[in-house]
Chains A and B, each alone.
Chain A
Amino acid sequence: MLLDYDRLGGWRWGLVGVGTVVMLFLLLPIVFIAALSFGDSQWLVFPPPGWTMQWYQQLLTDPVWVNALLTSAKVGVIVTVLSVVLGLLAALGLARSRFFGKSALQAFFLTPMVLPVVVLAVALYAFFLKLGLTGTLTGFVIGHLIIALPFSIITIGNSLQSFDSALEDAAMICGASPLEVKWRVTLPAIRLGMFAAAIFSFLISWDEVVLSIFMASPTLQTLPVLIWSTLRQDLTPVIASASTLLVAFTVVLMLLASFLKKGSRQ
């Protein structure tokens, strides 16, 4: 290649420098917030004068925070299940059949990805207000599902595309009914894609804040919403610890997803 890293000479150090700066730019805020969550200053002083676990203790004993955490988890799990099931059905329909308006439908399924979330949020809020769905678990689930579903459809659709449909023919001629073919051959073959879709869906729900602010009520809110509303009132290091937990869990799921990707390539 023309721009081979090994032949760049002195430019190489420039590249390394730029890379490092970008990386710091991206990661420093997270490191910063994680450090603050363990610091014993009430006022989020950096560097922290001393270390403590008291903010985490406060976080996990305050029923408001614990409830928000549980709500986030509950919404996340329900959204994940629905997103994978509906995403699978949609992807199967798009990949395996031919019908009029298929590409239009495909584009329609993906619109939530390109639509500004805030527009979606306002629209849903107005609509749900009429139905009495704001401030309910159902409202959260439907809102998050709308954003998560396109990712599910794309991820599962991709793994269906790399799956050789001759395997389905082979299973069929072996005597398996269409449903058995899907259950015994197709689903096991695309299971990694389904896991990936599940992780993406959960993550999307887990750190969604815009839609959630519109859906939340004083008694029912997710962790990101609580962080946001607490932040507007006062600046307590509990926010830092809540944020750190949020990030830590996200990192764990991302790692899991990348392991799955590695596994599927083998």
Chain B
Amino acid sequence: MTTPFLQIRGLRKTYDQVVAIDHVALDIKQGEFMTFLGPSGSGKSTTLYIVAGFQEPTEGQVLLNGKSLLDVAPNKRNIGMVFQRYTLFPHLTVGENVAFPLRVRRRPESEIKAKVEKMLELVHLADYRDRLPGQMSGGQQQRVAIARALAYDPPLLLMDEPLAALDKKLREEIQFELRRIHQETGVTILYVTHDQEEALRLSDRIAVFSQGRIEQVGTGEELYEHPSSRFVAGFIGNSNFLPVKVEQMGAGRARAIFPNGQAVEGDARAFAAGSEGTLMVRPEQMRIRPHATSAQGLAVTVRDMTYLGDSMHFAVQTPWEQELAVRMAVRDGQGLCIGSSAVLEWDSQHGHVFA
């Protein structure tokens, strides 16, 4: 077996008494686009800053190609980084900003010139070489920052919420650019964000952080379809959480009962019988029928319905007066109106039982 490209092993960082991250471990393949996703304070940025060298871990190791990064000074790590704040040097032109890492590496002038041109073409800003950063929009500045971070062909590019300060439209535009740049250069990217949609759009794999630990690692699809915890399910995509009591545990499946005594089945990890749990079902996996078509159906009342063009959004009320969100195709929602009684159904593999 070959050694993984980047290994993060047992990282722990404490400030005084506060634990910022604990037991953070992850292997990243060469050329992979890995995203650290999580709410603020979950430890994703701390982990990135340790890889960058701006912070030292209390415990743990970071290996690049099998060699420790922690013994290397930040300016010798040869890593590219794009920050959340705009960090172009204000007194240098765009071209000189991109040339900066090459100048400190004492590369010959002809090579610098060619490389700057190539990098500015990569981010589609070739005509802006002689501008000053202050004369450019936030989106353009971040594209220059990407060009600067890639100018010295680093094996690893770190990005710390680089698009957080931009508006939605611009953000999507640069996300698209970023995918293209990733494909064209093949650079390995570690990307930090708190935006789940951004994570899904960009990443090969996502590591979900919560309270200083990695909660789950997987592709966007794995995380969405098979979340391992209530936190991951709640953080990625929309979800309904229904209270249940686990009755019986089988091979990866649990039989549970709702507060109204009705039985239900769902995917589950190990559970002690009799313990309290939560059943999670995505809004788009649920269907509202005028009459029951299968055994696993929950009697509900339609409380609200909203026409959204490509789909309809329903709010329904369970017998124990909990409101649930349901999304269906417009044609499937015909015949329903506010106040009508109906049956809520879903396939049992779309139900997940969490502690």
Contact = CB atoms under 8 A, between A and B. Distances in A.
B89 A173 contact: no
A170 B81 contact: yes
Interface in B72-113: 74-81, 83, 85, 87, 89-91, 100-101, 104-105
Interface string B40-56: 00000000000011100
A173 B85 contact: no
A188 B104 CA distance: 16
B75 A177 contact: yes
A174 B148 contact: yes
A166 interface: yes
Contacts of B54: 169
A32 B81 CA distance: 62
A184 B104 contact: yes
A39 to B, nearest CB: 49
A176 interface: yes
A171 B77 CA distance: 13
Nearest to A174: B101
Contacts of A169: 52, 54, 74, 81, 83, 87
Contacts of A164: 85, 87
Nearest to A266: B134
B104 A173 contact: no
Contacts of B81: 169-170, 173
A191 B158 CA distance: 30
A175 B74 CA distance: 8
A172 interface: yes
A211 to B, nearest CB: 37
Interface residues of B, number: 26
Contacts of B152: 174-175
Contacts of A174: 75, 100-101, 104, 148-149, 152
B100 A173 contact: no
A173 B148 contact: no
A171 B75 CA distance: 8
B329 to A, nearest CB: 47
B299 to A, nearest CB: 56
A193 to B, nearest CB: 13
A113 interface: no
A55 to B, nearest CB: 46
A164 B133 CA distance: 15
Given A172-B75, A173-B75, A173-B80, A166 B87 contact: yes
Given A166-B85, A184-B104, A173 B91 contact: no
Interface string A141-166: 00000000000000000000000101
A209 B83 CA distance: 51
Nearest to B81: A173
Contacts of B145: 170
Interface residues of A, number: 20
A167 interface: yes
A185 interface: yes
A180 B76 CA distance: 13
A221 B77 CA distance: 57
Contacts of A191: 91
Contacts of B76: 175
Nearest to B79: A173
B203 to A, nearest CB: 22
Interface in B118-162: 145, 148-149, 152, 158
A167 B100 CA distance: 12
B89 A167 contact: yes
A166 B89 contact: no
Contact of B100 (A166, A171, A178, A189): A171
Contacts of B52: 169, 173
Nearest to B53: A173
Interface in B193-247: none
A184 B100 contact: yes
Interface string A171-205: 11111111011001100110100000000000000
Closest 4 A-B residue pairs measured CB to CB? A170-B87, A174-B101, A188-B91, A176-B104
17 contacts: A164-B87, A166-B83, A167-B87, A167-B89, A169-B52, A169-B83, A170-B83, A172-B74, A173-B81, A174-B75, A174-B152, A175-B75, A176-B75, A177-B104, A178-B75, A188-B91, A191-B91
Interface of A: 164, 166-167, 169-178, 180-181, 184-185, 188-189, 191
Given A169-B83, A169-B87, A175-B105, 12 more contacts: A167-B89, A170-B87, A173-B74, A173-B77, A173-B158, A174-B104, A174-B149, A175-B101, A175-B104, A185-B89, A189-B89, A189-B91
